[in-house]
Structure 1
Amino acid sequence: MKQIFQILKKIIIIVSAILIYGCAVNPVTGSHEIVLMSVEGEKQLGEENARQVAEQMGLFDDPELVSYIQSIGQRLAEKSPYQDVNYQFQIVDLEEPNAFALPGGYVYVSRGLLVLLNSEDELAGVIGHEIGHVAARHSVQRLTRAAPIGLVTGITSAAVGIVSPFLAHTVSGTGSLLNSTILAPYSRTQENDADAIGQLLAIKSGWTPEGITTFLNTLDRETERKGQEGDQFSFFATHPSTPKRVKATEVRAVELNAEKKFQQKRYLIAKNHKAFLNKFNGLIVGSDARQGVIVEQDFLHPTMNIGLTFPGDWKISNQPQYVSAVNKQKDGLLILELQGEGNDPVKAAHDFLNKAKIANQSVSKLSIGGFSASQVTINKSRQEAIITWVAFQKQMFRLTSINKNLAATNRRDIKKSIATFHQLRSKEKMKIKQQRLRIISARSGESISALLKRVGSEWDKESCAIANNLQADVSLKKGQLIKVVISEPFKYGSTEITR
């Protein structure tokens, strides 16, 4: 009886939290809404998710460019109707064009989005839009609705399981918070609200309100070209767009420009179009070679100075924390990751076994690529795991394989691939290229195709036209500045951004 009483008491805490936090008034709409979170809770949740973004997605390390983004963001944030949070702005290291916001005022734009911008007004429109989501507490609503109650209240599933199995399931929750909520789409109403807030912030801060309209049209063309509507990392996957929404931003811009109180002088940080484009000259486009590149089935990492060849028909995925490959049948997996500092692979293997509480398991000592290594083979539940540690240049690398089909050739392919771990060779280093955005001055009457051929760009004319907000068959003017992508040799000896 006492246990039931304690459980019911905790459930009352949950209901009380809903009643207390649910009485919050939205700072933008002025309406009451159920948001199971205080401002302090919002800040804490934002901080936790910001840490996940940094760890799982990675932040783009370019102090000069980040400072520019922050300057625009802070000026817009000063006009925000929601001032209970400290707004922070970063560039997330994603090659896909996107932007998103977290509770607590964390706002991100991807470096892939920067490639498509053609004015500071567009950039201000995008950042203002994300501030709008924060100000209207859309990100709080989305995260609290998707997050388990336990994450918000601290109540565990064990505390309520006896009374209600369904509530226990709700408290515990499942899945990755980062993937399921940060990249979840907003509603059309929320998007329209964020557009309106962002456009108002833009014109109040010295930018034109039609910037977001221009960018949405550019992004719509790019999305259609790539056919990436289903890509979870694309802007429109998280920010649904419709012709009606775009038209609404266009009409709103006309109305805002017509209001006398907003008819003030524009104040640009980048004083002209050339200065704006030069902010992005040298920007990394596509995958960041500093994080490793994939050349056919070879994974080459220039900053770690290592290489590995994956099996011929396996699909490779390069992530910030690891590189992995899976076979077509999806019953074979191989992962390469940097475990940390170390020079004793046998000790690393034993430390792993002890931590995993795996007893009576032998550790093999071997040499891979001329470097000290160790290996453990674990068979459990009709699956085989081969875990290998390789010591290289005072760093410990770990290769983990999972084989779910012992009758197939997976074991042979896995062991053969593990044996290819090596220090980068001179010929391999020459293969590593980095795509960068460059600003080119056009010749009179030159076509986009002719310009691309002249500078040796790998971009097709449609991609170039979209990125420059032009039509593909346009005749360029003398001195017209055009963004192009050029593959350049990777510069060794520095991990810093090279402009």
Structure 2
Amino acid sequence: MFFRQLGLSLFTVLMLAGCGTTVVNPVTGQTERTVMDEPMEIAEGKKAHAEVLKSYGAYPDAKLQAYVNEVGQKLARNSHRANLPWTFTVLDSPEVNAFALPGGYVYITRGILAYMESEADMAGVIGHEIGHVTARHGAQRATRQQAAGIGVLAATVLGAILEGAAGLEGSTELFGQVAQGVAAGYVARYSREQELQADALGAEYLARNRYDPGNMVDVIGVLYSQERYAADQARARGESPSEGGGWLSSHPSNEQRLRDIRQHAAAHAGQYGDDGRDRFLRMIEGMRFGESPSQGLTRGQHFYHPDLGVAITASAGWRIVNADDSVTMMAPDRGAALRLMGVPPELGRSHDEIIRQLLKTPQGRITRGQINGLPATHFEGQVAGRDGRAQRLDFTLVTGPRQAQYLLLYLAADAGALQRHFAQLVATEKTFRALTDEDRQAARPWMVRVVPMPRGGFAELQRQAVVSQAQLRLLNGVYAGGRDPDPGPPVKTVVAR
């Protein structure tokens, strides 16, 4: 999500004096020591809420926000902590993600909503996150972190976001680096017991609100399909599937969760109401899908940023990774990459001034020219690496539309990788350009449409869609097996606006 940055105050160390106090856990009824009592949960959650909104942004659809809040408030009223000032927010993010902060702040992304099949499915995700709050899991994590020197805000906020984030590559790269550097990844996960407890509470809250708790099984199935799809896509690119990223990766095994959830559902056997599928599909009709123009749009080998007015094209076979503060074109073997970043105005207005600010005493060769009519300056030289040895540095500064400055940084695993990929790095750099009319047409945002399933099935549905048949099957809950929808009933597709 190009140039989006989370406020640094999220990672400010806020140490608490003393050994904390004791509270009664609302779920278990047991007394536990804590560094975060309820007033502090609410206060710290409120502070962090502002930072989350600054980072992600709330999805600009008042009706969808009101709908999600209505469902969330209904679940919260029938939870173990109905007294909290609960807040439910749809984030403008394509990540398949949901998380909660202490004090009753619950977030669900439009990315995960696109893959839900009903209101009851959505309620299952929200109920799980409510369970983390009612059982005080964030406060428990903050208490564990005190001995490690991690502040309350860093432990709870960073941990909550990472718990559901989409892995190191992509928009959560910054979070992953901070977690590894600050706490060796420890804050990135709830414990196995906490996750299973949140599952159980989610099922209980569904039942209390006349949703079938069996929908928790469906939610886990959706997330498992996401995992399968990501693995299949990696294999198609010739890469080894990762061990998981996203909301499901920090949770216990699928098999154990499914077994336990089925037991919880059986314990709440009874007559339940409508799952709200039709109502849910009406609410997500027209919802943005994938990246938004303010975050930059990946379309095949092209990256467009309509708000900034720039575009770049990756070499064939190279992968585009759209991150918080940059976009990276990565070689298939991951040996080299070209990273595009915006240059903060305070670093200077001219290329020479920016180079001096970046390198202090620049030593190397400077070449001036143009890239597609835009003023460009390439620097090739050496800097001292972390081990003190000289390391080659290549980058290009380009003045884009509205006099904004951009940095194109050459990255390589070693000198050999840089030499192997240098020609492609240069070729990719040369595609950087101001958006053309053709680019703007290609950069139209995508949205979810709800249409009757055609007689020709997914093959016919795909003819009018902008995503593959595989992704259409994923969107409609049949990627990892299951019966295809019959012709006629509503299904989800994705089209360009």
- Place the TM-score, normalised by the shorter chain, in its bin: 0.7 to 0.9
Separation of aligned partners in 2, 1:44 and 1:405? 50
Separation of aligned partners in 1, 2:353 and 2:267? 69
1:140-151 aligned at under 5 Å gives the runs: 140-142=139-141, 144-145=143-144, 149-151=148-150
The answer as to whether partners of 1:191 and 1:240 remain within 8 angstroms in 2 is: yes
The answer as to whether partners of 1:316 and 1:323 remain within 8 angstroms in 2 is: yes
C-alpha change, 1:476 and 1:302, in structure 2 (3 Å) is same
Structure 2 segments unaligned to the other structure (5+ residues): 1-14, 154-177, 233-240, 384-389
| 1:45, distance to aligned residue in structure 2 (A) | 5.2
Aligned to 1:175: 180
Aligned to 2:406: 397
C-alpha change, 1:104 and 1:385, in structure 2 (3 Å) is farther
The answer as to whether partners of 2:128 and 2:202 remain within 8 angstroms in 1 is: yes
Bigger Rg, which one: 1
The answer as to whether partners of 1:344 and 1:391 remain within 8 angstroms in 2 is: no
1:183-262 aligned at under 5 Å gives the runs: 184-227=188-231, 230=242, 232-258=244-270
- Listed one character per residue, the Cα deviations across residues 282-335 of structure 1 (whole Å, up to 9, x for unaligned) are 233344455333455432223322122345564431123210134466564432
C-alpha change, 1:143 and 1:83, in structure 2 (3 Å) is same
C-alpha change, 1:230 and 1:135, in structure 2 (3 Å) is farther
Aligned to 2:128: 129
Separation of aligned partners in 1, 2:372 and 2:46? 42
C-alpha change, 1:319 and 1:30, in structure 2 (3 Å) is same
Of residues 306, 309, 315, the one that matches 1:305 is 309
- Listed one character per residue, the Cα deviations across residues 156-196 of structure 1 (whole Å, up to 9, x for unaligned) are xxxxxxxxxxxxxxxxx9636699467x4433422232123
Aligned to 2:327: 323
| 1:136, distance to aligned residue in structure 2 (A) | 0.8
| 1:345, distance to aligned residue in structure 2 (A) | 3.8
| 1:452, distance to aligned residue in structure 2 (A) | 2.1
Equivalent position SS for 2:304? strand
| 1:83, distance to aligned residue in structure 2 (A) | 5.6
Letter in 2 for 1:151: I
Structure 1 segments unaligned to the other structure (5+ residues): 1-13, 155-172, 492-499
C-alpha change, 1:148 and 1:375, in structure 2 (3 Å) is farther
The answer as to whether partners of 2:68 and 2:89 remain within 8 angstroms in 1 is: yes
| 1:451, distance to aligned residue in structure 2 (A) | 4.9
The answer as to whether partners of 1:447 and 1:473 remain within 8 angstroms in 2 is: no
Aligned to 1:8: none
The answer as to whether partners of 2:88 and 2:107 remain within 8 angstroms in 1 is: yes
The answer as to whether partners of 1:368 and 1:421 remain within 8 angstroms in 2 is: yes
**Larger displacement relative to structure 2 (75-84 or 191-200):** 75-84
Aligned to 1:358: 360
Sequence identity percentage: 24
The answer as to whether partners of 1:105 and 1:134 remain within 8 angstroms in 2 is: yes
Of residues 322, 334, 341, the one that matches 2:338 is 334
| 1:120, distance to aligned residue in structure 2 (A) | 1.3
C-alpha change, 1:266 and 1:392, in structure 2 (3 Å) is same
Separation of aligned partners in 2, 1:278 and 1:177? 43
* Number of residue pairs aligned between Structure 1 and Structure 2: 441
The answer as to whether partners of 1:325 and 1:334 remain within 8 angstroms in 2 is: yes
| 1:127, distance to aligned residue in structure 2 (A) | 0.3
Equivalent position SS for 2:80? coil
Q: Which has the higher contact order (CA 8 A, sep 6+)?
A: 2
**Larger displacement relative to structure 2 (304-313 or 459-468):** 459-468
User: Scaled by the length of structure 2, what TM-score is found?
Assistant: 0.72
Aligned to 2:26: 27
Letter in 2 for 1:24: V
1:476 matched to 2:479:
no
Letter in 2 for 1:100: F
The answer as to whether partners of 2:363 and 2:382 remain within 8 angstroms in 1 is: no
User: Scaled by the length of structure 1, what TM-score is found?
Assistant: 0.72
Aligned to 1:5: none
C-alpha change, 1:340 and 1:351, in structure 2 (3 Å) is closer
Equivalent position SS for 2:203? helix
Letter in 2 for 1:334: L
C-alpha change, 1:96 and 1:75, in structure 2 (3 Å) is same
CA RMSD in angstroms comes to 4.2
The answer as to whether partners of 1:298 and 1:308 remain within 8 angstroms in 2 is: yes
Separation of aligned partners in 2, 1:103 and 1:197? 16
Aligned to 2:284: 280
- Listed one character per residue, the Cα deviations across residues 413-438 of structure 1 (whole Å, up to 9, x for unaligned) are 54554343211223333433544322
Aligned to 1:370: 373
Separation of aligned partners in 2, 1:462 and 1:330? 25
Separation of aligned partners in 1, 2:152 and 2:101? 19
**Larger displacement relative to structure 2 (191-200 or 365-374):** 365-374
Equivalent position SS for 1:482? strand
Of residues 473, 476, 479, the one that matches 1:464 is 473
